[in-house]
Amino acid sequence: MKAHSVETATLADRYASLSAEDMLDDLIHRVFPGQIALVSSFGTESAVLLHMLSRIDPEVPVLFLDTGKLFGETLRYRDTLVARLGLREVRTLHPARTPLAVEDADGMLFQRDADRCCALRKVAPLRDALGGFAAWINGRKGHHGDLRANLPKVEADGPRLKATPLAGWSAIDVQTYFERHDLPPHPLQDDGYLSIGCYPCTERATDPNDPRSGRWAGKGKTECGIHTTPSPAPYQDAWWPVG
């Protein structure tokens, strides 16, 4: 079933009162069988959706962006969760070498232009990887605030549908799920890192009630661009100009 053939409003009504697990099961087995992927950062709250997926269908592709600037703890946490949950189709994505050689030869683009760094290391490789899917699942939650305060459970994302099963979850909901299923925390969480991305742009949260207060601190930036950059249809590979 193609994403454009599914009415977003119809699915929104359908999932309004469903649990996250039931919504995932419906998307995976009935609406987009074989055409959906979960995108995961393997961050502090990622184990919730990954655990749900492992019980619904561990063969569903999980897309993981290795930007080249992740904490070693995140990479080890990924390996721990994959083994523990029995996930069978984790695909690690990497940024293209040529654009990095042209625009980030010294590896310091994050200081000069954080948005551009995210575009090269996250947005472009994910967009390429999603090209073969009609829908994708993400782990955003409304309790993160700012641009995430009023998230819809489903929305159009260019030629595909984007699903946010945990849109209405609170921090307590996440903590309760971790405890109920005895899920291991991210190794950096107890050290004050409540939202974890690339190590140059991630600090300990400055506000314990705002998990993302340690991301891009002082840059006036709260999103990498994956959820804020419009997805064209069809995709045009023109993320970095040369010449």
Q: Which residues are catalytic?
A: 224
State the Cα–Cα distance between residues 7 and 224, nearest whole angstrom: 28
Tell which residue, 72, 73, 20, has the closest CA to residue 51: 20
C-alpha dihedral sign at 146, 147, 150, 153: negative
Beta bridge partners of 12: none
Tell which residue, 104, 141, 138, has the closest CA to residue 120: 104
Contact 136, 24 (CB under 8 A): no
Tell me whether residue 190 is exposed, middle or buried, using C-beta atoms within 10 angstroms of its C-beta: 0 to 12, 13 to 18, 19 or more: exposed
C-alpha dihedral sign at 4, 9, 13, 18: positive
Contact 140, 73 (CB under 8 A): no
Asked if omega into 234 is within 30° of 0 (cis), the reply is yes
C-alpha dihedral sign at 25, 197, 143, 179: positive
State the Cα–Cα distance between residues 71 and 242, nearest whole angstrom: 31
Contact 149, 142 (CB under 8 A): yes
